[in-house]
Amino acid sequence: MLKATIITAVSISAMLFSGYIKNAPVRDKNEHLTTSYSLRANKGILNADTTLLKVGDKCPDFIFRDTTGYDGRNVKLSAFKGKYVLIDVWASWCAPCRAQYPHLVTLEEKMKNKAITFVSISIDTRIFRWKGPVLSKMGGIQWMVRDETFEKAFGINMIPRFILLDKKGNVLSLKMPLPSHPELEQELNKLKGI
């Protein structure tokens, strides 16, 4: 009897919680997902073997999957040596990330003749969930992490996150302002030789 009561209570709680997430306002859904991602990052991705990058460190030549051309070829950030690189770390389930994208496109258009490349790197684990519907609405350079080394090295535990590399591939900033804030464009325009 007690066992049946406990099972019933747990089942009802699970149904109520899943119903809340399903029917919650977008803001609440996103907070849940961002928290879930943050917990994942803090519980296992970052470990004692991970060396976190600092400003001034050389960015390792991580391998990513290019999703721009739908061919899935391997690509590296070193392809942009000689240009500044603004990295947009995002995920398809992250509403704030997707809200920044139109602002990023506008900024990229304003800076198209400058020595900077904009690279969006998705930390999604399943490409099929976002490749068609999400990618078809996005332009620019769209890559996907191949493993967790990129996330570990940059200590990615919250997104959206914008990282700036210099022309030699060194870390200039681990957390740039969001594209929706005018400070990002102002900071980029101050870069030497942009």
The top-level CATH class assigned to 1-194 is: alpha beta
Residue 118, Cβ density class (10 Å: 0-12 exposed, 13-18 middle, ≥19 buried): buried
**Residue-by-residue DSSP string for 96-146:** HHHHHHHHHHHHHHHTTTSSEEEEEEE--S-GGGTTTTTGGG--SEEEEES
Q: Where are the beta strands (DSSP E) in the chain?
A: 63-66, 74-76, 84-90, 116-122, 141-145, 161-165, 171-173
The domain ranges of the chain are: 1-194
Positions in the chain short of pLDDT 50:
6, 9-48
* Rounded Cα distance, 64 and 156, in Å: 16
Give the pLDDT of residue 31. Answer: 42
What are the residues whose beta carbons fall under 8 Å from the beta carbon of 1, sequence distance 6 or more? none
Question: What pLDDT, on a 0 to 100 scale, did the predictor assign at position 42?
Answer: 43
pLDDT for residue 47 = 47
Computed from CA positions of residues 74, 78, 84, 86, in that sequence, does the dihedral angle turn out positive or negative? positive
> How much is the pLDDT for 46?
43
**What is the Cα 125 distance to its own chain's centre?**
12
Residue range 139-171, pLDDT digits in tens: 788 888 877 899 999 999 999 999 999 999 999
**126-138 burial by CB neighbour count: b if 16+ within 10 A, else e?**
eeeebbeebbeeb
How far CA 172 is from CA of 52, 53, 61, 152, 164, in Å, comes to 14, 11, 16, 18, 5
Residue 108: the pLDDT is 96
Q: 3-class DSSP state for residue 163? A: strand
Q: Record the tokens describing residue 144, joined without a space.
A: 């996907």
What per-residue confidence (pLDDT) applies to 39? 37
The pLDDT, as a whole number, for residue 97 is: 94
Q: What is the pLDDT of residue 130?
A: 63
User: What per-residue confidence (pLDDT) applies to 49?
Assistant: 55
Element housing 26 (H / E): helix 26-40
34's tokens: 């961002």
Rounded CA separation 122/137 (Å): 15
DSSP string, 108-121: HHHTTTSSEEEEEE
Work out the mean pLDDT of the chain and round it to a whole number.
78
